[in-house]
Structure 1
Amino acid sequence: MQDTIDLKELLKIIKNRIWMIICIGLIFGITSGVVSQFLITPEYKSTTTLIINKENEDSKTQLSNSDDLNYVQKLAYTYSEIITSRTVLTKTIDKLNLDMSYKKLASCIEVTNISNTQIIKIDVEYRNPKIARDICNTIPTIFDKEVQRIMKVSGVEVIDKAVASSKPVKPNKKTNVILASIFGIFVGICIAIIEVLLNTKIKTTSDIKENLGMNVLGVIPKQ
């Protein structure tokens, strides 16, 4: 039995069992495609963007100087926490009559502060594209009222309203199939190597010398 395999032997193993390795890769890829198509519920994403304003002489104006911009960028992090707070999300659930818990809704939401800007982006992923859109458009309305009540400051304004997506973002069938196929090929190579390492049969005269430490005196040819 061999203990190690060098690169030349590895390439030979792959070459001799290439069809087995390809078949295993195809099986993994096809299985992933079937699972992605029929067993995984697709999810759709809706996105809205908000801009933070500051009260200035009884009117809402966008900030321009660097000090105010730094202040607003820090404020954006606070706003992000308020957006995903229990108060805001619970009121969103009640307004839309959603059949889900606060934690479930929170897991569907991702809030991002756009670097070096006053903009906050809200992404909502859900299995129903229209509900994802409605959640995305309802949260800013409720948040705007709550942030003014909590912090006594002006709220935010919506830059882009969310729309219902026609294509799911999850699962990514193409990526899943490719990754599963690559993994299947890797598994096939591992199986081929293990098969060789566990094979104790003597096939050639070199096997006798390597495994038994004996010299071959002669070979009887096949009739």
Structure 2
Amino acid sequence: MEEISLREYFFILRKRLGLILILTIVAVATSGIVSYFVLEPEYQTFTTLMVGKPKDYQSESKLEYNELLLNQKLVSTYGELVKSRVVVDQVIKNLNLDMSFKIFTEKVNVNLVKDTEIIKIQVMDTDPKLAAEIANETAEVFMDSVKTIMKVENVQVIDKAQPPENPVKPRPKLNMAIAGILGIMAGVFLAFLLEYMDNTLKTPEDIEKHLGLPVLGAIPMVKDE
């Protein structure tokens, strides 16, 4: 029974192969057109900050363990401060950006490196130069805000953001590969669905299979000359 069932599946797929290929080609072509000509490229860059000045680590005296723990705890607090309205509104004002607080926070992402004093400010934008400017300005405004609000000067820029050369989105090849897989899956599903809905008898084998009756004879189809 299992061998017959698998053979039937193979015949169904072979019969509907054209449909599966058409759906796959359409899916891949549509994904390629959208990825290359519709979606706007987005660029990502980042600036790295460290809580605690590097010179403290280079001094002859060892940095106290309690101070290290304090700096690591301050990282999460500082991460929230980067996304605060005080910092965001000042960055928008300094760069004369035409965007709202919500749009700005969607472009800027703050990553805290676990068990370290490192803060990464990542910015994604369609303009690579603007993305770098936003990242660097956010870092500067954030450090000024720390000095003003918390009355401390313990944040240092490690790496400044640079305008990226290659976009991170969209990824046309990956999108087209995914679309091809989805197209094949949709084609196979539709092939079995059409076969399931087709209740006509086409061959003598169908009569024996579905009606349980033997075939005594068949009338051939004769084409008119």
What TM-score comes out, normalization by structure 2 length?
0.87
* Kept in 2: contact 1:60–1:154 (CA 8 A): no
What is the aligned partner in structure 2 of residue 126 from structure 1?
125
What is the aligned partner in structure 1 of residue 186 from structure 2?
187
Structure 2 unaligned spans of 5+:
none
Q: Which amino acid aligns with 1:61?
A: D
What is the aligned partner in structure 2 of residue 49 from structure 1?
48
What is the aligned partner in structure 2 of residue 101 from structure 1?
100
Distance 2:18 2:99 in 1: 49
Distance 1:8 1:152 in 2: 77
| 1:216 and 2:211 are equivalent in the alignment | no
Question: Identity of counterpart residues, as a percentage?
Answer: 37
What is the aligned partner in structure 1 of residue 170 from structure 2?
171
What is the aligned partner in structure 1 of residue 75 from structure 2?
76
Deviations along 1:135-191, one digit per CA (max 9) or x if unpaired, are 011011100010121122223111111011121111111111111111111111111
Distance 2:164 2:14 in 1: 46
SS in 1 for 2:200: coil
Distance 1:153 1:22 in 2: 65
Q: Number of residues paired by the alignment?
A: 214
Deviates more, 1:82-91 or 1:63-72: 63-72
CA shift, 1:60, in A, is: 6.3
Distance 1:10 1:61 in 2: 71
Q: Which amino acid aligns with 1:185?
A: I
SS in 1 for 2:87: helix
* Kept in 2: contact 1:145–1:155 (CA 8 A): no
Distance 2:129 2:88 in 1: 17
Distance 1:202 1:66 in 2: 82
What is the aligned partner in structure 2 of residue 61 from structure 1?
56
What is the aligned partner in structure 2 of residue 142 from structure 1?
141
Q: Which amino acid aligns with 2:144?
A: K
CA shift, 1:96, in A, is: 0.4
Deviates more, 1:183-192 or 1:5-14: 5-14
SS in 2 for 1:61: helix
CA shift, 1:19, in A, is: 3.4
Distance 1:52 1:98 in 2: 28
CA shift, 1:68, in A, is: 2.6
What is the aligned partner in structure 2 of residue 33 from structure 1?
32
Structure 1 unaligned spans of 5+:
none
Shift in CA distance, 66/12, structure 1 to aligned 2, threshold 3 Å: farther
Distance 2:63 2:17 in 1: 64
Q: Which amino acid aligns with 1:188?
A: G
Shift in CA distance, 65/184, structure 1 to aligned 2, threshold 3 Å: farther
Distance 2:11 2:68 in 1: 64
Q: Which amino acid aligns with 2:24?
A: G
What TM-score comes out, normalization by structure 1 length?
0.88
Shift in CA distance, 72/204, structure 1 to aligned 2, threshold 3 Å: same
Alignment of 1:198-209 (within 5 A): 198-209=197-208
What is the aligned partner in structure 1 of residue 11 from structure 2?
12
Distance 2:6 2:71 in 1: 59
